[in-house]
Amino acid sequence: MSRADPAGRTAQADSARYLTAGLPVVHGFTTRAGGVSGGPFASLNLGLSSGDERAQVEENRDLLLAELGFARAQVCAFDQVHGDRVLAGAPSWFEEEADAAVTDDPDTLLVVSVADCLPVLFLDPASGAVGAAHCGWRGTVKGLAARVVGELRARYGARPEELRVAFGPAVAGACYQVGPEVVERFADAGFPAAVAWPDAEPGRYRLDIAAANRWLLAREGVAPGHVHDLGLCTHCEPERFYSYRRDAGRTGRHWAFVSPRRPA
Ligand SMILES: [Zn+2]
């Protein structure tokens, strides 16, 4: 089912393989459904570093791209390193190290891989430019989402208050335990204390990555009402999502994707 936004643009609809967040461009967050992998990787595992068989991962990637109408030569995917580099998203198939990309080319599909980390998608309605970021705690503490906003401003003249942002499924704060050294990094970087709180287990904490990214975006001038969080926890839904933490690393990877292209 599709629906039109106030400007008459049609939002991308959900499919069996992915969830959407109401943006009027091709975008989505994949689930486990609709692929060929088995066992702990069942079924739409899109990551090679998972331990799954390469042929199955490659077939899953082709199945998704065929559904979206993109060829591999049109994809901008990169080796994620928990840094803060934002690529100007020319197509490239895992050739560069980065954790985010931006583009205004409707023939390019930006892709980030996740399995608990927060995938963040961006759209500048004025220029049509988009962005995608892989926000784990390290990228978040380095301000990765703010860097994407900066790139959209610098390259495409985006106004932060007009940006639309979507948060996909990720491990929720209530399910994300970290040590004091992580909380200290957030405090040192100026994040509000409310992004973390003491765990029932002494000396441990819970960290809300989505809240930390909302704070980063608000500081850049993004309107809080323009940040749409699907509010889904990967850790809590084993049927629907992979979770690196829940499954102790033996699990698949989701893709979050976005293109300036209008939905068909
Ligand atoms: Zn959870």
CATH of the domain at 28: 3.60.140.10
Number of domains in the chain: 1
Q: Look at residue 231 and tell me if it is in a domain.
A: yes
* Residue matched to tokens 């002494």: 202
- Report yes or no: 199 and 223 within 8 Å, Cβ to Cβ: no
d(CA 50, CA 24): 32
CA of 232 to the centre of ligand 1 (A): 8
d(CA 260, CA 26): 7
Average pLDDT rounded to a whole number, residues 232-259: 97
CA of 143 to the centre of ligand 1 (A): 24
CA of 128 to the centre of ligand 1 (A): 33
pLDDT of 5 > 70? The answer is no
Q: Look at residue 201 and tell me if it is in a domain.
A: no
d(CA 158, CA 150): 9
CA of 181 to the centre of ligand 1 (A): 22
Apex CA 114: angle with CA 249 and CA 70, to 5°? 130
CA of 240 to the centre of ligand 1 (A): 12
Q: What is the mean pLDDT of the chain?
A: 96
pLDDT of 202 > 80? The answer is yes
Average pLDDT rounded to a whole number, residues 61-75: 98
pLDDT of 9 > 90? The answer is no
Residue 52: domain span: 18-172+210-258
pLDDT of residue 89: 87
CA of 206 to the centre of ligand 1 (A): 11
Q: Look at residue 111 and tell me if it is in a domain.
A: yes
Apex CA 57: angle with CA 52 and CA 61, to 5°? 160
pLDDT of 232 > 80? The answer is yes
Q: Look at residue 98 and tell me if it is in a domain.
A: yes
CA of 165 to the centre of ligand 1 (A): 22
Average pLDDT rounded to a whole number, residues 67-78: 98
CA of 170 to the centre of ligand 1 (A): 8
End-to-end alpha carbon distance in the chain: 12
* 177: phi then psi, degrees, rounded to nearest 5: -90, 135
| Positive or negative: CA dihedral 176, 178, 180, 183 | negative
- Report yes or no: 195 and 185 within 8 Å, Cβ to Cβ: no
pLDDT of 255 > 80? The answer is yes
Q: What does the block give as tokens for 231?
A: 């509010």
Average pLDDT rounded to a whole number, residues 47-73: 96
pLDDT of 2 > 70? The answer is no
- Report yes or no: 158 and 129 within 8 Å, Cβ to Cβ: yes
Which one, of 139, 172, 180, 159, lies nearest residue 223 by Cα? 159
Our measurement of the distance from residue 66's CA atom to the centroid of its chain's CA atoms, rounded to an integer in Å, reads 20
Q: Look at residue 1 and tell me if it is in a domain.
A: no
CA of 8 to the centre of ligand 1 (A): 36
pLDDT of 264 > 50? The answer is yes
pLDDT of 23 > 90? The answer is yes
DSSP string of 11-34, one letter each residue: PPPP-SSEE--S-SSSEEEE-STT
pLDDT of residue 237: 98
- The residues pairing with 101 across neighbouring beta strands, listed in sequence order, are 87, 132
pLDDT of 249 > 80? The answer is yes
Instruction: Give Cβ neighbours of residue 47 (< 8 Å, ≥ 6 apart).
Output: 57, 113, 115, 252, 253
pLDDT of residue 223: 98
Q: Look at residue 188 and tell me if it is in a domain.
A: no
Q: Look at residue 194 and tell me if it is in a domain.
A: no
Query: Which one-letter amino acid corresponds to residue 118?
Result: L
Query: Which one-letter amino acid corresponds to residue 46?
Result: L
CA of 51 to the centre of ligand 1 (A): 24
CA of 91 to the centre of ligand 1 (A): 34
CA of 236 to the centre of ligand 1 (A): 4
Residue pLDDT, tens place only, 134-180: 999 999 999 999 999 999 999 999 999 999 999 999 999 999 999 99
pLDDT of 132 > 90? The answer is yes
pLDDT of residue 4: 63
Ion ligand 1 residues within 5 Å by Cβ: 172, 175, 233, 235-236
Instruction: Give Cβ neighbours of residue 38 (< 8 Å, ≥ 6 apart).
Output: 56
Q: Look at residue 183 and tell me if it is in a domain.
A: no
Report the SS3 class of residue 211: helix
Which one, of 158, 161, 159, 198, lies nearest residue 178 by Cα? 198
pLDDT of residue 1: 41
